[in-house]
């Protein structure tokens, strides 16, 4: 059904059994990705962004990991019930994945050209010369100079940033319906980053590709996102259209992330405090120990259910202050809100 979202994640729970205890890395995350849409996952390091992405095509190492609950539907199919063969077809076929670290994506014993061609051949019947031409044009598209010559080089002959660009070319080789890009540009300089973001947008225009894009850089979010999912310690704090998130951020965590943008007063300062222990997260709202607007009710029960902070029905926030209220935060409970703090103020060891 074309009106259904291409990807629908409901109440995803991905856990790791570790010596320190059970890590609920993703603990009830839900979001949809429509065809041709870019959804950005944002949040500090350790929030569960990568684990969410890796759950989509079940790349979680099992054990210690386990998808303990929830539903992942891709184009009408429940991914959690697919066989290993069906999953292999999905990965690198209809779903391309760019990992945070490109090392694992490239095989050191094959040339980059072989690897891109293999990705093309794995899912399409094309002549060898066509595949080679396509591989060169993909390398050009991701900004590899002299692509026609470099195509016969091995991964070790490329720098880290170049390897990441090759990994992006491989992920795009089969013209995936969904591209899962986990901090794909974090290791790249801003010029190449801009080029890659352009390439993603072009791809989207041409093929109606859907993109799940992970970043902790809200500048990149502003560039590329249609919708944003703000995650913190395995929970969704806020979700909405990119305009709503930037113009009317509701959750104190989203606000704090925005205040950390370069160019803001106190910008580039980390949010005071740090993520909770993954094996022993706090009750109530997971963000409450760091929240300036904390009330007694924030410290008990479960993560608040999602409510709408404004008239935009796509904009939802998990914060008791918006439950049936007037869509505003109360006075800060602990002095000055993060936004108004001077940069020299002491900071915790958060990111």
Which residues of the chain form contacts with ligand ADP (CB under 6 A)? Answer: 16, 18, 23, 25, 43, 45-51, 61, 64-65, 278
- Angle at CA 205, nearest 5°, toward 199 and 208? 110
Query: Among residues 16 and 200, whose Cβ is nearest to ligand ADP?
Result: 16
Instruction: Report the nearest approach of Mg ion to the CB of residue 96 (Å).
Output: 17
Query: Among residues 136 and 188, whose Cβ is nearest to Mg ion?
Result: 188
Query: Among residues 43 and 309, whose Cβ is nearest to Mg ion?
Result: 43
**120: nearest Cα among 108, 109, 132:** 132
Q: Which two tokens stand for residue 172?
A: 């795009």
Instruction: Report the nearest approach of ligand ADP to the CB of residue 228 (Å).
Output: 14
Instruction: Report the nearest approach of Mg ion to the CB of residue 215 (Å).
Output: 10
Q: Is 215 in the site for Mg ion (CB under 5 A)?
A: no
In the list ligand ADP, Mg ion, none, the entry touching 25 (Cβ below 5 to 8 angstroms by class) is ligand ADP
In the list ligand ADP, Mg ion, none, the entry touching 229 (Cβ below 5 to 8 angstroms by class) is none
Q: Residues binding Mg ion: what is the number (CB under 5 A)? A: 2
Query: Among residues 5 and 276, whose Cβ is nearest to ligand ADP?
Result: 276
In the list Mg ion, ligand ADP, none, the entry touching 18 (Cβ below 5 to 8 angstroms by class) is ligand ADP
Instruction: Report the nearest approach of ligand ADP to the CB of residue 17 (Å).
Output: 8
Instruction: Report the nearest approach of Mg ion to the CB of residue 88 (Å).
Output: 23
Query: Among residues 131 and 258, whose Cβ is nearest to ligand ADP?
Result: 258
Name which of residues 20 to 49 contact Mg ion (CB under 5 A). 49
Instruction: Report the nearest approach of ligand ADP to the CB of residue 53 (Å).
Output: 8
In the list Mg ion, ligand ADP, none, the entry touching 5 (Cβ below 5 to 8 angstroms by class) is none
Q: Is 50 in the site for Mg ion (CB under 5 A)?
A: yes
Q: Which two tokens stand for residue 316?
A: 């939802």
Query: Among residues 18 and 137, whose Cβ is nearest to ligand ADP?
Result: 18
Instruction: Report the nearest approach of ligand ADP to the CB of residue 151 (Å).
Output: 32
Instruction: Measure the CA–CA gap between 4 and 46, rounded to whole angstroms.
Output: 31
In the list Mg ion, ligand ADP, none, the entry touching 150 (Cβ below 5 to 8 angstroms by class) is none
- Beta pairing partners, 316: 239
In the list ligand ADP, Mg ion, none, the entry touching 61 (Cβ below 5 to 8 angstroms by class) is ligand ADP
Binding footprint of Mg ion on the chain (CB under 5 A): 49-50
């Amino acid at each position: 059904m074309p009106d259904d979202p291409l990807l629908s994640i409901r109440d995803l729970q991905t856990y790791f059994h570790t010596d320190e205890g059970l890590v609920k890395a993703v603990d009830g995350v839900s979001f949809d990705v429509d065809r041709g849409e870019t959804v950005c996952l944002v949040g500090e390091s350790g929030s569960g962004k990568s684990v969410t992405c890796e759950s989509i095509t079940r790349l979680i190492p099992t054990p210690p990991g386990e998808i303990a609950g929830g539903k992942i539907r891709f184009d009408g199919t429940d991914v959690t019930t697919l066989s290993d063969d069906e999953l292999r077809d999905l990965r690198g076929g209809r779903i391309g994945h760019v990992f945070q670290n490109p090392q694992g994506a490239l095989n050191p014993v094959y040339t980059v050209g072989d690897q891109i061609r293999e990705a093309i051949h794995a899912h399409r019947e094309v002549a060898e010369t066509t595949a080679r031409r396509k591989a060169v044009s993909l390398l050009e598209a991701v900004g590899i100079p002299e692509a026609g010559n470099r195509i016969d080089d091995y991964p070790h002959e490329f720098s880290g940033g170049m390897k990441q660009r090759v990994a992006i070319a491989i992920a795009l080789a089969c013209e995936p319906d969904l591209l899962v890009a986990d901090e794909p540009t974090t290791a790249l300089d801003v010029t190449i980053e801009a080029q890659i973001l352009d390439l993603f947008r072009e791809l989207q225009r041409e093929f109606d590709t859907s993109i799940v894009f992970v970043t902790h850089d809200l500048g990149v979010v502003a560039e590329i996102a249609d919708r944003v999912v703000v995650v913190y310690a395995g929970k969704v704090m806020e979700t909405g259209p990119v305009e709503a998130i930037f113009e009317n951020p509701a959750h104190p965590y989203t606000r704090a992330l925005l205040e950390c943008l370069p160019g803001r007063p106190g910008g580039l300062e980390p949010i005071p405090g740090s993520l909770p222990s993954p094996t022993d997260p706090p009750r109530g709202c997971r963000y409450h120990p760091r929240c300036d607007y904390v009330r007694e009710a924030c410290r008990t029960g479960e993560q608040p259910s999602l409510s709408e902070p404004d008239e935009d029905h796509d904009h939802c926030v998990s914060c008791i202050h918006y439950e049936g209220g007037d869509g505003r935060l109360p006075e800060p409970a602990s002095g000055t809100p993060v936004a108004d703090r001077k940069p020299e103020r002491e900071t915790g060891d958060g990111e």
